[in-house]
Structure 1
Amino acid sequence: MAAPELVRAAPEKMGKLRLLPWTVSTVELEGKEALEVLGREAPETPSGSWRWLKAVAGFAGALVGRGQVLPGLQGDQARWIPQLVGEDGEYARALQNAMPAVVRAEYPNGNADVFPDVLNALTDATARSRITTSAKSGKTPAERWLKALTTDEATVAGDLTRLESAIKTWHESAAPPVGPLRTCFRLALPDEDNDDWRVEFFLQATADPSLTASAKDVWQGAGAAKLLARHAEHPEEVLLAGLGRASRVYRELDAALKVSAPRALTTDPEGAYRFLRQSANALTLAGFGVQLPSALQRGPALGLKLKASSAKQPGAVVKGGMGLSEILSYQWELAVGENELTAEEIAELAKAKAPLVRLRGQWVELDNARLRRALDFLEKAGTGEMTAGDLLQADAELAAHGVDVPVTDVVADGWLGDVLAGKIEDQLEPVSTPDSFTATLRPYQQRGLAWLSFLSRLGLGGCLADDMGLGKTVQLLALIAAEGSKPNLLVCPMSVVGNWQREAARFAPGMNVYVHHGASRVAGEKLTAAVAEADLVITTYGVVARETEELAGLGWHRIVLDEAQNIKNSGSKQARAVRALPAAHRVALTGTPVENRLSELWSVMEFANPGLLGPAGTFRSRFAVPIERDKNPEVTAALRRRTQPFILRRVKTDRDIISDLPDKIEMTEVCQLTAEQGSLYQAVVADMMDRIENSEGMERRGLVLSTLSRLKQVCNHPAHLLKDGSRMPGRSGKLARLEEILDEALSEGDKALCFTQFAEFGEMLRAHLTARFEQPVLFLHGGVTKSQRDAMVERFQSDAGPPIFVLSLKAGGVGLNLTAASHVVHVDRWWNPAVEDQATDRAFRIGQRRNVQVRKFVCAGTVEDRIDAMIRSKKALAEMVVGSGEDWLTELSTGALRELFELAPDAVGEAA
């Protein structure tokens, strides 16, 4: 297809496509150079083509790692060629279908499929990068070909006709067989009294691999062989033919084929290892069945076990105190699975030369080079002292010493042992609150209080990540009231300062609360005195960013971040500021520890427990990339193990947490544009796309965001875009649907929240809905004072209060309890699932007694409709382990923007 940038005609005028001259500056890269570029850290805003090429490079690496390549010859170039069979073939087709338009090529005589060339080049470069020794130079074409496969110079000189024919024949012999039966090879473990391994021969039904017959039964025509005979008239001939073909890729098989009725190949441990790591892959690639012992596939691995205990001696003072700074004595042990080895067993292993050895009655795969590195590490750093925080990063400790042996187990005594074993519940003790604390905690809130208290005693930070509405505020206030320790600093968005004041006064009326915010806030000695008297000091992220140095010197017992997602950008000024405040205990409160990227989780945990997840760069390479890009389940599990003790996550939909909260019913309302809206929409696209095409840099980014904003306004209402004060009724599909929903809700005595990101449209809605339903409509926006805001909430929550509450998303998205509403309507979208969910949770929270119906408006066939499908994928990341906004749109190509913004033919509804 033509690059979208080349298509300049307006959609309604588009005829037959024609190609235009287009000059593009490029940098030509060889496969090796491309691998180096793709191996670097991703750019801040990676393009679609960069991400796609990165995925292809990862696939090439996986193919090489699994031996799914064959040496070949293309012209006079020696090449490592990927072999795509089974799931690999399906994945390759998926990659090809996902290829961005900018990567495609088109010529006057037709399309050019560049995917095979890209995959072949990256596979060849990857294979060469993993070859440690090169073949010797020779005089024959075959010798020169082998040399060219193992060096950067891939050209093979001379007459290659015979060599090319031989390689072609060999490749054809490796092609998967076609037929109802195939030859299968099973690696059998030795008996206990000898070290002889056997590769046993079988016949296997191609359509049903579970149906097999041993070579013995085949020759005797017995057992399952009779069943297989239904598929082939002479199964013994199929077996012999398969063994003959297999000998071309498994040369050691020749020794077993010297008898008339071969049944198995006997080999030693080294031969068994070669079969396990080389021949099995080659046979599988060639289409043969291969069965390996489960004891070797899932059995215990040779690794290192870390044992630690408190370094404190009776009467001694432990430097570093408790928590992650506590000093522990440690000892590394060589282990098989969780069982550490004796000195005699280690000495025996050190002498072993075979890659498969019998140890404690089990066969263990042994990499001698890795074993030597592990033994050197044990000799140099096998014992000593480390902090509890370092213990939790045991794998990083090995990596720092260049040891690639896995950590099979980490054990410790005391509280840390329970944390590592996932038995933190055993350490939690009920916490009593004083009589002056008026709230009655639910059972899960009591567990949350006990968890916070446990971490506090140890000086460990934590992230209370309960869903919105489950009472994070009351649990934190209960902790402060129960401990009686002070001062506690609470950092929160300005919009919820009043909420914290009200909740503290309601549940802990005896608590001394001081608000450090506003133009009249004090400084110097007056601030020091006020803090000394306060149990709880409430301030905002903005104040902390401006007064970091002064606040850091006030000796806080605890620092709490409410709506901790505010520091998800670890490099922001406010994130650096809150991390710079020293305290004995740190707590992050958030319902969304991860919104879009794992770097957000790192930032929150770096505040709560500095150093727990290592430096940001290390965290990205070891966790974020393998999880976000590769969806690696092992790395995901490792990150969960490391963070789980310090994150308490409960969701309101879990009936074990709270049984009396009703359901939240979410739905997307697809609205049609009116003819007027459709005309305005197309005009905006035509005008803005011409300007975008002729701009670049910051100007282009600004135009893209401006276009998106204007298109949203058109979708809302023509008067929103035109700002002419014109009439509202009958001109907007969204407004018509909103009136229908509100008509039904009000007729049943229900109340509703209506969210919009545009304050000016909120005012338009307020005025129109007031006239339409002939009763007051509340409107909360950023210009509303704190006292007005509190009065609005109180009016809406009262039984006789107004039934409709219009809110701007930023002003009303957090910190409000609006459980009087059982309907939530997102009239226009912010395109951030976490932000929209927070707004919805103003109604879906504790105190709600009815089902909450959530409707999200989108206009069919518009940019809203297309982005709605995209945002659903953003929710998956947070569910796995525990860019925001719309800026990502500015990096799309002009063609991609045109496709995103263009109006579909069915977008405009019929006139009434």
Structure 2
Amino acid sequence: MPAADVRPGARPKKHPFGASAETLRKVFGTGDEFSFTLLLPSSGTGPVAAPELVRATAGRPKKLKLAPWTVNALALTPAEAMRVLGEEPPETPSGSWRWMASVARFARSLADRGQVLPGLVDGHARWIPQLIGADADHTRALHQAMPSAVRAENAVLPGDLVPVVLTALTDATVRDRLAESPPGKTPAERWLRALTTPDGRVDGDLGDLGETLRAWHRSAAPPAGPLRTCFRLALPDEDDDDWRVEFFLQATADPSLTASAAEVWRGTGAAKLLARHAQHPEEVLLAGLGRASRVYPELDAALRVSAPAELKTDPQGAYRFLRQSANALTLAGFGVQLPSALQRAPELGLKLKASSSAKGQSAVVSGGMGLDEILNYQWKLAVGENELTEDEIAELARAKAPLVRLRGKWVELDNARLRRALTFLERAGEGEMTARDLLQADSALAEQGVDVPVTDVAADGWLGDVLAGTIEDRLAPVSTPDSFTATLRPYQQRGLAWLSFLSRLGLGGCLADDMGLGKTVQLLALIAAEGTGPNLLVCPMSVVGNWQREAARFTPDLRVYVHHGSGRVSGDDLAAKVAESDLVITTYGVVSRQNEELAALGWHRVVLDEAQNIKNSASKQARAVRALPAAHRVALTGTPVENRLAELWSVMEFANPGLLGPASTFRSKFAVPIERDKNPTVTAALRRRTQPFILRRVKTDKQIISDLPDKIEMTEVCQLTAEQGSLYQAVVSDMMQRIENSEGMERRGLVLSTLSRLKQVCNHPAHLLKDGSRIPGRSGKVARLEEILDEALSEGDKVLCFTQFAEFGEMLRAHLTARFEQPVLFLHGGVTKSQRDAMVERFQSDAGPPIFVLSLKAGGVGLNLTAASHVVHVDRWWNPAVEDQATDRAFRIGQRRNVQVRKFVCAGTVEDRIDAMIRQKKALAEMVVGTGEDWLTELSTDALREMFELTPDAVGEAA
């Protein structure tokens, strides 16, 4: 809340939106009615509505004040409050409700862990929480997170509310779990009984009981001095099974400074350094050991000597220290050190080994069964990378403690999980399965209720090579006919061999090479080498011509038919055309419209170019291409995952149907654990299942291609002109009020419209106003673009300028043509195929125009523009995968110079904030936000306001 005036002495008014006492009683069903006064943020028209509960009906007032308002309320006892806060929250819980529920959960946690001591507060017996270590940190965090609505009342509960509220709720929780004690006569007996009664009141003269209890509490807490007692769990010696809990003295400010108990008793070694912090370190150590015995009772056995230095224990005792006492000591403020070897203990897992059966071998030789090949399998139990022998398994089964010595190392095992794994091995330890089942083994285990992870899958033959990731290096070279005119690079030769290998086995694959690494030529080489057909290639309309030209260039003997456009044939004519063709090129749109007719033809292979076009598995075109039957399927894409793992499922479901299971199962077992929880075990399982069928090479890997220059990316931060700043603020003020008063689809549409208008302002005032006014001197972006073009053209370089707005592209074309007195090319969605090809040819020629303006959608894919060594994204689409595709028009094979990529962002605007968000969240396949800008529509109104509003440094100084 901005700074607000407090009006002392103002007469309280009844809150206009406050619930009546009857409504409160219907909601909560308990409590005594009363009313009280709150100091709330207010404007001239009344109190400001809570943003969590009520959508504001007008813009946020600029001038606020704190004014007193009277509200109806119910007084709840702590026990009633705990019951209410433990129930299902309201449909739209307020910030104060969520905060109180957090305090209640913390109170229950303290009671569950026994972090309470009985005490006396204002004549009442109370269970007082002991806030030590991490609990003290959590209490401070609760204080900092306290919402303003909780702070608004300053009469009934003055001062720091957190300890007051937390003590009341903790006391109610403990009291609810205790049976009432019999009455007593002495003050101590009356106090003990009051700890179990509802109100906790202690009648009669209490004498010095209160001070005695406070002294007891002080003695239970660790001192806040410069030294503290520390406990270290030490591993047994090689020929011994005895564990040791060693005692140390540790500097509180510098935990790395420690002295063993033996050094402390002798006053030698590091104890001399600690003596600088305390005059009698041995007294600090002894006192700490005494206090620690209250939370670690087993320590008493070591304190029966005059100079205790360690506690010897067995594996069971060591495990109790590791899993129980260590945490209790840490919470009590003591130092605890655990062996790093145990902290990194290897996990119990299952290894699956498989080999081709005689039946499976013959099938492969006779033509290949691929994922349906029959394999012999055997499950093995492993700890980490160590596969266990039968004797070791028997020894583990006999072990009574979770800590066991295995091959000279101590490991921690879950005995219950071990028993489940052994039961599974007895029931299904070996047998036969298909290669598909082998890849889905982890899911099969989960369906059987076996919660032991699959740590390794190994096989012989072709599947063993692909699982090991070595298949690309072991594949035999594939010869191409003399008519094939291209010279394949080494990595392209390996890609051809990989595709051919999968084709022989009847397995689908995804060639996921970076843009510009030559996926087209590798696929054409495969078709030329196999000499079988017909092959159906499905691609976006924008690259049909590119495929046609590349086929004519590299495979001139290939019979190519383009099934596209208004003149395309159907029926018997289509069947005849297909029968006499080696390669049929069509588009996603045509496949959607003629799906049944195309599916009825006998395809040897179906290839999807730019396969990210089926990333939405439920779309009509995704369903249509999956319905095309073929002996071999290939997906070509440089971005198999743009936004979500569901897109990977869609691509792999086309290539190898059923490999990843149903979409709903894939989401629950893979997508959610990986995207939300970053689960490494699930990530490894998905990689193991998909790795054999995805070949991914990147241009920046010098082992793949050493002669491709570097791509240098930078963000160009531009400032708005004063005119742009004024327009920007006007758009925000107008649109935010409309957004706040809208819901559902209307709200989403307004958010996207606002974003579009703000980006237009950042481009140029004339872009927003559409008034045909002059261009020069009115836009920070245009001024910076002119500077970059001046420098590039003076060096003889060529530049690509991308914009998502066709109308702004035309404005730039006209302005830059006049500014630099030479032709500027402009490619947009209205350009015909022949005009497009002519533009590309002109730009690629040495004498062609040096500036090429492109609409991002029309020019983002399917073009080879290596004549450019500069790429400028004048405005942003906010999808890095889409922007990278556009950049790769220049950064691809054939490029001989470094490519400089500049992405324009206006400082202090929505562009600046979204750019920062994407850079921070760029994690899942280099992209986690939704496609385009739809994800912005789900932000709250306050978040949108914060994102849209203009910062003071956004507008540059006038020239």
Q: TM-score range by the shorter chain?
A: 0.7 to 0.9
Question: Secondary structure at 2:717's aligned position in 1?
Answer: strand
1:564 counterpart residue number: 611
CA contact (8 A) 2:222 2:291 kept: no
Give the 3-state SS of the residue equivalent to 2:862 in structure 1: coil
Q: Distance in 2 between matches of 1:136 and 1:892?
A: 43
Which secondary structure does the structure 2 equivalent of 1:834 belong to? helix
- Match of residue 300, structure 2, among 227, 249, 254: 254
2:564 partner amino acid: H
What is the distance in 2 between the residues matched to 1:539 and 1:22? 72
Residue 716 of structure 1: aligned partner: 763
Contact 1:568–1:599 at 8 Å: present in 2 too? Answer: yes
Aligned equivalents of 2:161, 2:471: Cα separation in 1: 51
Q: What secondary structure is seen at the aligned counterpart in 2 of 1:395?
A: helix
Contact 2:861–2:889, Cα closer than 8 Å, also in 1:
yes
- The aligned runs of 1:625-636 (5 Å cut-off) are 625-636=672-683
Q: 1:89-117, CA deviations, whole angstroms, 9 ceiling, x for partnerless residues? A: 59996x999x8x9x874765589999989
Any residues of structure 2 matched to 1:344-743 within 5 Å, and which?
A: 344-743=391-790
Task: Name which of structure 1's ranges 865-874 and 189-198 shifts more when overlaid on structure 2.
Answer: 189-198
Match of 1:15 among 60, 63, 76: 63
Distance 1:567 1:345, change over 3 A: same
Going from structure 1 to structure 2, the CA distance change for 1:210 and 1:376 (only over 3 Å counts) comes to same
| Alignment match of 1:310 (pick from 350, 353, 356) | 356
Q: Does 1:159 align with 2:206?
A: no
- Alignment partner of 1:307: what SS? strand
Cα distance per residue 1:515-558 (max 9 Å; x no partner)? 22222222233323322332222222222223333333333332
Distance 1:164 1:571 in 2: 70
Whether the 8 Å contact between 1:73 and 1:164 is mirrored in structure 2 is: no
Q: Distance in 2 between matches of 1:629 and 1:720?
A: 40
Deviations 1:51-85 (A, max 9, x none): xx99x99xx99x989x9994689999999999763
Distance change in 2, residues 1:456/1:192 (3 Å): same
Per the TM alignment, residue 803 of structure 1 is displaced from its structure 2 partner at its CA by: 1.5
SS across alignment from 2:379 = strand
**Counterpart AA for 1:288:** F
TM superposition shift of 1:240: 1.4
Match of 1:240 among 286, 293, 308: 286
Aligned to 1:837: 884
Q: Give, in whole Å, the separation in 2 of the partners of 1:296 and 1:483.
A: 56
- Rounded Cα–Cα distance in structure 2 between residues aligned with 1:483 and 1:404: 45
- Superposition map of 1:37-52 within 5 A: none
1:257 is paired with a residue whose SS is: helix
The answer as to 2:247 corresponding to 1:201 is: yes
Residue 660 to residue 81, structure 1, CA distance change in 2 (3 Å): farther
| Partner SS for 2:231 | strand
1:885 partnered with 2:926? no
Letter in 1 for 2:309: R
* Counterpart-to-counterpart distance in 2, 1:192 and 1:216: 23
Q: What displacement does 1:688 show?
A: 2.4
Is 1:271 aligned to 2:336, yes or no?
Answer: no
**Equivalent position of 1:147 in the other structure:** none
Matches within 5 A, 1:54-69: none
Q: Secondary structure of the residue that 1:805 maps to in structure 2?
A: strand
Query: Using CA pairs below 8 Å that are at least 6 residues apart, which structure has the higher relative contact order?
Result: 1
Q: CA deviation at 1:168?
A: 9.1
What is the 5 A alignment of 1:742-753? 742-753=789-800
Distance in 2 between the 1:113 and 1:509 partners? 86
Contact 1:356 1:364 in 2 (8 A): yes
Give the letter aligned to residue 390 of structure 1: D
Task: Please tell me the residue identity of whatever aligns with 2:882.
Answer: V
CA contact (8 A) 2:360 2:375 kept: no
**Map of 2:134 onto structure 1:** 85
Q: Is 1:867 matched with 2:902? A: no
Q: Per the alignment, in what secondary structure is the counterpart of residue 182 of structure 1?
A: strand
The verdict on how the C-alpha distance between 1:827 and 1:333 changes in structure 2, with shifts beyond 3 A counting, is closer
* Secondary structure, counterpart of 1:265 in structure 2: strand
Tell whether the 8 Å contact from 1:562 to 1:590 is kept in structure 2 after alignment. Answer: yes
Amino acid at match of 2:382: A
Change (3 A) 1:224 1:590: same
Q: Is the 8 A contact 1:662 1:848 kept in 2?
A: yes
The offset of 1:809, in angstroms, is 0.8
How far has the Cα of 1:679 moved from its partner? 3.2
What is the identity, as a one-letter code, of the residue corresponding to 1:186? Answer: R
1:837-883 deviations in whole A, cap 9, x for unaligned? 111111122222222222222333332232222222353221599x1
1:351-378 residue CA offsets vs partner (Å, 9 max, x unmatched): 4433333445444434332222222222
Alignment size in residue pairs: 865
Distance 1:115 1:386 in 2: 64
C-alpha displacement at 1:565, in angstroms? 1.8
Map Cα deviations across residues 815-843 of structure 1 (whole Å, 9 max, x no partner): 10111112222222211111111111111
Shift of 1:322: 3.3
SS of residue matched to 2:358: coil
Distance 2:436 2:360 in 1: 23
Match of 1:41 in 2: none
- How many angstroms apart in 2 are the aligned matches of 1:840 and 1:787? 23
Alpha-carbon distance between aligned partners in 2 of 1:781 and 1:621, rounded to the nearest angstrom: 41
Residue equivalent to 2:335: 289
Distance in 2, Cα, partners of 1:246 & 1:537? 80
My pick for the range that moved more, 219-228 or 523-532, is: 219-228
Q: Deviations over 1:630-658 (max 9, x none)?
A: 44445444444443333332222232222
**Matched residue SS, 1:262:** coil
Q: Report which of the two structures shows the higher radius of gyration computed on alpha carbons.
A: 2
Q: Structure 2: how far apart are the matches of 1:600 and 1:167?
A: 64
RMSD of the TM alignment (CA)? 4.5
TM-score normalised to structure 2 length: 0.80
Name the structure 1 match of 2:830. Answer: 783
Measure the CA separation in 1 of the matches of 2:66 and 2:826: 53
Contact 1:68–1:285 (8 Å) recurs in 2: no
Task: Verify the 8 A CA contact 1:715 1:732 in the aligned structure 2.
Answer: yes
Moved more, 72-81 or 220-229: 72-81
Query: Is 2:232 the counterpart of 1:186?
Result: yes
Question: CA 1:194 to 1:798, structure 2 compared with 1: closer, same or farther past 3 Å?
Answer: closer
How far, CA to CA, are the matches of 2:888 and 2:93 in structure 1? 34
Task: Return the alpha-carbon distance in structure 2 between the equivalents of residues 592 and 49 of structure 1.
Answer: 42
Report the CA distance between 1:254 and its aligned residue: 1.2
1:697 is displaced (CA, Å) by: 1.8
